[in-house]
Structure 1
Amino acid sequence: MEERPAGIQDSDVRDALRAWGIDPVTLEYAPVGFGDYHWTATDTRDGRWFVTVADLTHKSWYGDGTEAAFRGLRDAMDTAVALRDAERSGRPDFVVAPVRTAEGESVRELGAGHAVSVFPLMPGTAGHFGETLTPHDRGLVLDLLAELHRTAPPASARVLPPEFATRPQLDRALGELDNPWDGFGPYAEPARHLLADHAAALRHRLDEFDRRAGELRAAGAPLVVTHGEPHPGNLLRAGERRLLLDWDTVGLAVPERDLWLVADGPDDLARYEESTGRKPDPSALALYRLRWALNDIAEFLTLLGTPHGPTPDAQQSWKALAQTVRSLAAEA
């Protein structure tokens, strides 16, 4: 995020790092990514760290309220740590997991409504969301996902149903289009007009989502450990190695939850099938592609339907909302 989190100062982050035994010599805010807040730190022994502060009010997929969000984030970080530890017994090294505190915690609460986790700052070249992977990169990532999907699930891994937690916000927004969205900020009314122009198409896509989700549940396909967001923005290139970052959406689901973000055509899907013996389901791929877009719309509407100013993050949310709604409606 370009904006810093409200109520969290550098001194708060510096104090929190003591739980990890880290005494920062340098601590700098890093305006990268979208959703969480990040700092880089160098300690007295030249150790380099990537510090993430999560806003628990924006982790609705874990459940209602900040306590449920913290428990869900803790389970996700514990799962990432378990996967990294399994790698040390001989599996390929691709999980960038948090380091534990002296008390064994993978994440700690930070003030009211936030949580902090600490990662080693890994050397390599980071990708960015929306980047097009080369065929070579896609192959490496598909092989990585095949390895992940064959890994025994840690006890902390949660089962993640296809339904998205932000569905009520989207349904509510579609039901409130006749009244002005005044008093929230400069992008609230444009968001309402955008939604009103494409309401019929969005309701049609929601019906499609419900149908495909019902079909997936009825099929009873086996679940595997999935990352949830293996897009280029969560990839780090280190020579021929590809590392996966940002494990807060890890959980048990069908492999298509990951594959739709990476596979580009039948050759990629065939590569995955050859590696795992499991043939990807086209309907499940379409389901998770649709789910991503609908969830994005709901999250952007939630942000723009609350008090905001003409900030870079609000502007980015508005642009992404407009692009996603129009794209989804055009496919209806």
Structure 2
Amino acid sequence: MKDRPEGIDESALRHALDAWGPGTTALDYVPLGFGDYHWTAETPGGRRFVTLSDLTEKYHCGIGPEAAWHGLKRAMDTAAELADRGLGPADGGFVVAPLRTARGESVRRIGERYAVAVFPWLEGAAGDFGDEPAAAERAEAIGMLAALHGERPPAAARALPPELSARGRLEAALTAVREPWTGGPRSEPARELLAEHAGAVRGRLDDLDRLTARVLARGAAPVVTHGEPHPGNVLRHGDRRFLLDWDTAGLALPERDLWLVARDDADLDRYAGLTGRVPDPEALALYRLRWSLEDVDAFVAWFRSPHTATADLEQAWRGFSDTVNMLLS
């Protein structure tokens, strides 16, 4: 995030980082990404990358701080176990998992609202969410996904059904467009946009239900998925590629990852050749639609809540507008 988190100072963060070993000598905020807060930390063991998660906003991990904490912990534990098996960068792998504390924890809580994880520092450059990788880069990403999907599920991996995380909340917002929203500067614009397209959004929810019923009826086995293997979460360093941001990890159909990477039949054929599993077109459509509806719900929840004008808010507004228009196409 570009804006720093509310209600926490760096002294509390430094204290929490002592669990990974005392002696942090420098802590510098990095205005990077969207969703979590990041710092670089200089420690006796070398440079580290620190991520702070706001549990009140971690909807994909659980609704509310307590549920989000447990969901986040299971996702981080899943990634950590994959790295323990030899899939981490130090062993030539691609899973950039959180480092464990002296007590073996992959993530620690700071108060009721926040949780912190520490990652190895890796040189390289990541892309952006909207990038369109060339065929060779997609092939590399599909290779990573094929290897991940073939792994035995870690004990911590939680099942992630294709239903929306907070269906009731989005439906309540669709009903609430009849009354003014007063959370902040983007409340009324968001209400007006959602009110204008409420029928179309409800129709897309019905489409999601139909796709979910048909896909689940086939009984395909779930696999370990990353959840967001888009270019913004792929770090490139020379000829190596690494997958970042494992807070969305869990058990789901492989199409949960594939729709974000595959662009044509050649990509899907490559995955089938590596895994022996032919991607399901309806499952790809299901997860593509689910992504957009999840975004609409998360943005609307933000705009209906108390908020002020910030750079992150404006980025959220652009994302909300684009997503609503995408649902109409």
Q: TM-score, normalised by structure 1?
A: 0.96
**For residues 4-43 of structure 1, what are the structure 2 equivalents within 5 Å?**
4-43=4-43
Query: Following TM superposition, by how much is the alpha carbon of 1:23 offset from its aligned partner in structure 2, in angstroms?
Result: 1.6
Query: Following TM superposition, by how much is the alpha carbon of 1:92 offset from its aligned partner in structure 2, in angstroms?
Result: 5.3
Cα distance in 2 for residues equivalent to 1:278 and 1:173: 39
Query: Following TM superposition, by how much is the alpha carbon of 1:49 offset from its aligned partner in structure 2, in angstroms?
Result: 0.4
Q: Which runs of 5+ in 1 are unaligned?
A: none
Matched, 1:257 2:256: yes
**For residues 72-151 of structure 1, what are the structure 2 equivalents within 5 Å?**
72-87=71-86, 93-151=93-151
Query: Following TM superposition, by how much is the alpha carbon of 1:88 offset from its aligned partner in structure 2, in angstroms?
Result: 5.6
Task: Determine what percentage of the aligned residue pairs are the same residue.
Answer: 54
SS, match of residue 133 in structure 2: coil
Runs of 4+ residues over 4 Å off in structure 1: 88-92
One-letter code of the match for 1:295?
E
One-letter code of the match for 1:307?
P
Deviations 1:105-164 (A, max 9, x none): 111111221111100111111222111111111000001100000011111111110012
SS, match of residue 214 in structure 1: helix
In the alignment, which residue of structure 2 is the partner of 1:291? 290
Q: Give RMSD over aligned pairs.
A: 1.5
In the alignment, which residue of structure 1 is the partner of 2:181? 181
Seen in structure 2, the aligned counterparts of structure 1 residues 270 and 206 have a Cα distance that, compared at 3 Å, is same
Deviations 1:81-119 (A, max 9, x none): 111111269985000001111111111111221111100
Cα distance in 2 for residues equivalent to 1:142 and 1:73: 25
Cα distance in 2 for residues equivalent to 1:168 and 1:37: 28
Deviations 1:20-57 (A, max 9, x none): 10422211011111111111011235x01011111111
In the alignment, which residue of structure 1 is the partner of 2:61? 62
One-letter code of the match for 2:176?
E
Deviations 1:211-260 (A, max 9, x none): 00111221110110000000011110011211000001100111000000
Cα distance in 2 for residues equivalent to 1:291 and 1:177: 22
SS, match of residue 67 in structure 2: helix
Query: Following TM superposition, by how much is the alpha carbon of 1:60 offset from its aligned partner in structure 2, in angstroms?
Result: 2.5
Q: TM-score, normalised by structure 2?
A: 0.97
Cα distance in 2 for residues equivalent to 1:88 and 1:327: 36
SS, match of residue 53 in structure 1: strand
